Structure 1
């Protein structure tokens, strides 16, 4: 068992959200699902917790009181290629909403950042002019397009 597990609180959608996430991430699995019993704050038989693993990291989805997710907490998906960026972006933004600079909210309101490794490399360049051009290009995007940030980096 991992020492620290992220717990996501859903208003009756814990199992649905777990199944959604494991359908997107190829290296994932359901670990355990528990249900509320008699006298619980939710109807008997309702899923209480849904424990699952995405890419080797454990999560718990909990059905409980209604709270809203905030971009103050987000999950970063590090990507190697544009195809990977496109895959995760398209899958996670479906039913949700895009934001700026690689951020999106999925259909449950959970915030994600879909980040190509090239963005981190180029934005960290020791040449502040080149890094600044990449930053400016990124600020105009929702989903990051690697070719476009590379063009900004290479511009004279």
Structure 2
């Protein structure tokens, strides 16, 4: 059997990849910055002007998942079409991640939040499938911003 290709998420930041990497590794356990390659000293090329010292290639690991990133300028931004799911073991862990990652209140819905860099996260309980089995539970989750496990359990009490 052929070896499977490794797949890594690649994140494009305008100019704050270093700050993002440092922040993310402080949020998640078992995380570290692997390497940073900076853009060389200013070049005569227009698209590299002012990029000296910014991240050309950053490699970091968040709780065992490898990522790469770049400071690529303002040409592309994050959208909700891509998000990262964080499975929390209990309400306390969910609350902790939510407090660290949710920085855009108007983007909060059904466990989704957006961090200060514009990246979307889904902070949900490990047993989310069990907590959304009934129409009543689905109605509750649709009304939540941050997931509140006890509310979902109460809505499903008649199962």
Query: What TM-score do the two structures reach when normalised by structure 1?
Result: 0.88
The partner residue of 1:9 within 8, 12, 28 is 12
Q: How does 1:13-32 map to 2 (within 5 A)?
A: 13-32=16-35
Q: CA deviation digits over 1:103-139, x for unaligned, max 9?
A: 001011100000102322122x4xxxxx111110001
Q: Secondary structure at the match of 2:144?
A: coil
Q: Give, in angstroms, the shift of residue 155 of structure 1.
A: 5.0
1:48 pairs with one of 44, 53, 56: 56
Aligned residues: 148
Question: Secondary structure of 2:51's partner?
Answer: coil
Which consecutive segments of 4 or more residues in structure 1 shift more than 6 A?
none
Q: Where in structure 1 are there 5+ consecutive unaligned residues? A: 126-130
Q: Is the 8 A contact 1:119 1:149 kept in 2?
A: no
Query: In 1, Cα distance between the equivalents of 2:38 and 2:27?
Result: 24
CA-based RMSD: 1.7
Match of 2:36 among 27, 30, 33: 33
Q: Secondary structure at the match of 1:75?
A: strand
Residue 34 of structure 1, CA deviation? 0.4
Question: What residue ranges of structure 2 are gaps of 5+ in the alignment?
Answer: none
Among 100, 103, 113, the residue aligned to 1:91: 100
- Between the aligned partners of 2:152 and 2:127, the Cα distance in structure 1 is 8
CA distance in 2, matches of 1:3, 1:118: 27
In structure 2, what is the Cα distance between the partners aligned to 1:68 and 1:44? 21
